[in-house]
Amino acid sequence: MSDWTISGVSEIADAVKAKKTSAAEVVEAHLGRIAAKNEPIHAFLGRDDEKARAEARALDARIARGEDPGKLAGVPIAIKDAIHVMGLPTTCGSKILKQFQPPYEATVIRRLRSEGAIVIGKANMDEFAMGSSNENSAFGPARNPWDLTRVPGGSSGGSAAAVSAGFAAMALGSDTGGSIRQPAALCGVVGLKPTYGRVSRYGLVAFASSLDQIGPLTRSSRDAALVLSVIAGQDVHDATSSPRPVDDYVGGLDQPVRGLRIGVPRDFLKSGVESGVMAEFDQTIAALEKEGARIVEVALPNAPHAIATYYLVATAEASSNLARFDGVRYGLRADSPAARATLKDMYGESRDAGFGPEVKRRIILGTFVLSSGYYEAYYLRAQKVRTLIRRDFETAFASCDVIATPTTPSTAFKLGEKTANPLEMYLADVFTVPANLAGVPGISVPCGFSNGLPVGLQFVGPAFAEATLLRAGHAVERLAGGSPARPPL
Amino acid sequence: MAEIEDKLLTHIATLARLSLSAQETKSLAHDLSGILKYAESLESIDLAGVPPMSHATEGERFRPDEPRHELSREDALKNAPDHEAGLFRVPQVIGG
């Protein structure tokens, strides 16, 4: 009997469709692995095992009746707890949304379900997707399956941990400054942040609306291509979703990388990359060159300003988006005597009780940079630097097809290592943030190990070049020998 | 640039509708000063003639403004901390 918890997405779907197994058996295998291995990892914030089982049985019944169950038939998926799934609470890793039952379903979930995917659980995350370690979850951090004393990354840490540990064949995360790619790198899985507008954000709790994008975390680029082909495309409920036709992401995967121009911004990489990470990166680039890829030097002169720019732009948008949590229509309402006095007191007390320290820090920073007297010096200036960062990419893509960097400057760090200094935590995103500011897509693929911990390589491409990124990612996997490594749990 | 003092932070917290404790105010003022100091690096960039970028989309796309039934009153009230007669209930708004 196959171990379905190590199988790829299409392997599962094909076997379910061909009745070599059933959706019920696949789901049971994953629930069994979750029951046995999840406790120290804490990858989930919400699960309804009976609902998952019932959905699997219903799918099997459809197959028995001869219906087409879809491209993702019976494939278990973990969903970041910022995305609305009907029947399960959306907590966003926050006390303020602890009891929130979404009244509608996210477009991505609707699309995945219509192709036969089965939601196995809501994945742990940093509160409101603010963090790079999952330590900002109000319900306790998720841990890295490769080393339980280390963080899985964030903010989609539970999604990455779930896929790495074999609790789900695929997961959805959201990426505002690296929140899909960074945890994917730290947990040794593939993570793709699509072009801004490629995937509908309807049903994703907003953090920074001009930067947020939903994307897949999987154990291969092939699986990521498959998931993206299901969730991508215009949506009437998201005015920023693009009307461009969706490319065939799976078809071109096996194209050789011969002639692919890979840009490497050597100057930018001088900023504090761990030597073990750099060695794996250089080795992979050399191997790609041997396969016929052309390595070209590119410059991203404004990229070192991306972190500062990001924290002014993203917090400004967050302070505005999170104004909706006011204890009136949904979410936590403080019930102290102070909170009962007036509406204004109720707002302040509820928000102080409901939000965690990092969320408050960002609301305060965002409110400050938008406030009268400071707007021009901070927010407007950051928006202009954002233009320069986008122009850097446009210039670079005139001479290359993709840009390669390590995904993160270091491998997974220890829990508690960076919590005392918010700035140090922010710097974990130095290589991922520029793509969000420019609105272009990026993928992280595993490219080796340093001291037993996974190292991720990131490719960033021009807008809507996801097919090229997936093909480059697939080539890296091929060079590494194909099947992804599994953590020793 | 700004060294954030407790008084300014209290003003910002009022704008953000956050009733912070004195200790939170102090520690947030400290954190913010550090982050803004880091952001000083942006001051040296020549931004003459550079337009601000607010969004990465290719342009606005609007759907026709037609009413649709998306959410029933019952569903809209389902998550409300307090409601009465089909309406959200809140503490006193005027005075106090």
- A67-118 pLDDT per residue, tens: 999 999 999 999 999 999 999 999 999 999 998 999 999 999 999 999 999 9
Dihedral angle sign, alpha carbons of residues A473, A475, A479, A481:
positive
Q: Is A133 a domain residue?
A: yes
What span, in angstroms and rounded, lies between the C-alpha atoms of B65 and A236? 12
Res A422: pLDDT = 86
Mind telling me how many Å the CA of B78 is from chain A's nearest CA? 8
Residue A401 in this model has a pLDDT that exceeds 50: yes
Chain B hits for A304, Cβ within 8 Å: 41
Q: Report residue A8 as tokens.
A: 């790829």
Cβ <8 Å between B18 and A329: no
Cβ <8 Å between A390 and B52: no
Q: Determine how β-strand A76-80 pairs with β-strand A170-174.
A: parallel
Mutation for testing the A interface, residue in B9, B11, B33, B79 having most A CBs under 10 Å: B79
Q: Which structural domain range is residue A208 located in?
A: 4-260+405-479
In 10 A of CB A231, how many CB atoms? 25
Res B2: pLDDT = 55
Model confidence band, residue A296 (pLDDT cutoffs 50, 70, 90): very high
Q: Is A312 a domain residue?
A: no
The nearest alpha carbon in chain A to B42 belongs to A305
> Topology of B1-43 in CATH?
Histone, subunit A (1.10.20)
DSSP A170-202: EEEEE-SSSTTHHHHHHHT-EEEEPPTTSB--T
Res A413: pLDDT = 97
Please confirm, yes or no, whether A80 is among the known catalytic residues: yes
Q: What is the pLDDT of residues A224-256, one digit of tens each?
A: 999 999 999 999 999 999 999 999 999 999 999
Identify the CATH number of the domain in which residue A8 sits. Answer: 3.90.1300.10
Chain A hits for B54, Cβ within 8 Å: 210, 383
Q: Is residue B87 within 8 angstroms of chain A, CB to CB? A: no
Mean pLDDT of chain A: 96
Spans of chain B below 70 pLDDT: 1-2, 58-60, 95-96
Give, as one character, the DSSP assignment of residue A295.
Answer: E
C-beta of residue A477 within 8 angstroms of C-beta of residue A284: no
pTM for this entry: 0.97
Please confirm, yes or no, whether A179 is among the known catalytic residues: yes
Domain total of chain A:
1
Please confirm, yes or no, whether A220 is among the known catalytic residues: no
- Whether the bond between A155 and the residue before it is cis, its omega within 30 degrees of 0, is yes
> Cβ contacts of residue A154 below 8 Å, gap of 6+?
A125, A126, A131, A132, A133, A134, A135, A136, A179, A182, A183
Cβ <8 Å between B17 and A355: no
Task: Select the residue of A305, A319, A386 nearest B41 (Cβ to Cβ).
Answer: A305
Res A403: pLDDT = 98
Closest CA to A329 of B83, B94, B70: B83
Q: Is A379 a domain residue?
A: no
Cβ <8 Å between B18 and A361: no
C-beta of residue A380 within 8 angstroms of C-beta of residue B52: yes
Question: Is pLDDT larger for residue A231 or for residue A271?
Answer: A231
In 10 A of CB A51, how many CB atoms? 15
What span, in angstroms and rounded, lies between the C-alpha atoms of A85 and A397? 38
Res B69: pLDDT = 84
Cβ <8 Å between A360 and B62: no
Chain B hits for A193, Cβ within 8 Å: none
Closest CA to A337 of B5, B19, B27, B10: B19
Choice among A7, A22, A174, A179 that is catalytic:
A179
The nearest alpha carbon in chain B to A237 belongs to B63
Cβ <8 Å between A423 and B38: yes
What span, in angstroms and rounded, lies between the C-alpha atoms of A319 and A375? 14
Q: What is the pLDDT of residues A168-196, one digit of tens each?
A: 999 999 999 999 999 999 999 999 999 99
Res B95: pLDDT = 66
Cβ <8 Å between B58 and A104: no
Dihedral angle sign, alpha carbons of residues A144, A150, A152, A158:
positive
Residue type at A309 in one-letter notation? T
Number of A to B CB contacts under 8 A, please give it. 171
Residue A483 in this model has a pLDDT that exceeds 90: no
Q: Is A195 a domain residue?
A: yes
> What is the value of ipTM here, to two decimals?
0.94
Q: Is residue B5 within 8 angstroms of chain A, CB to CB? A: no
Choice among A155, A200, A350, A444 that is catalytic:
A155
Domain layout of chain B by residue ranges: 1-43
Helix (H) / strand (E) element for A455: namely strand A453-460
CA triple A258-A259-A264, angle to 5 deg: 105
Q: What share of chain A is helix, strand, coil (3-state, %, to 5)?
A: 45, 15, 45
Which of residues 29 through 68 in chain B touch A, CB cutoff 8 A? 31-32, 34-36, 38-39, 41-43, 45, 47, 50-58, 60-63
Q: Is A251 a domain residue?
A: yes
What span, in angstroms and rounded, lies between the C-alpha atoms of A240 and A238? 5
Cβ <8 Å between A385 and B47: yes
Question: Starting at the edge strand that comes first in sequence, how are the strands of the sheet with A453-460 ordered?
Answer: A44-46, A118-123, A76-80, A170-174, A214-218, A190-193, A442-450, A453-460, A402-406, A261-264, A294-297
Model confidence band, residue A48 (pLDDT cutoffs 50, 70, 90): very high
Res B1: pLDDT = 46
Place of tokens 């190292």: A455
Res A263: pLDDT = 98
Mutation for testing the B interface, residue in A193, A368, A390, A418 having most B CBs under 10 Å: A368
Helix (H) / strand (E) element for A214: namely strand A214-218
> Cβ contacts of residue A365 below 8 Å, gap of 6+?
A311, A312, A315, A319, B32, B35
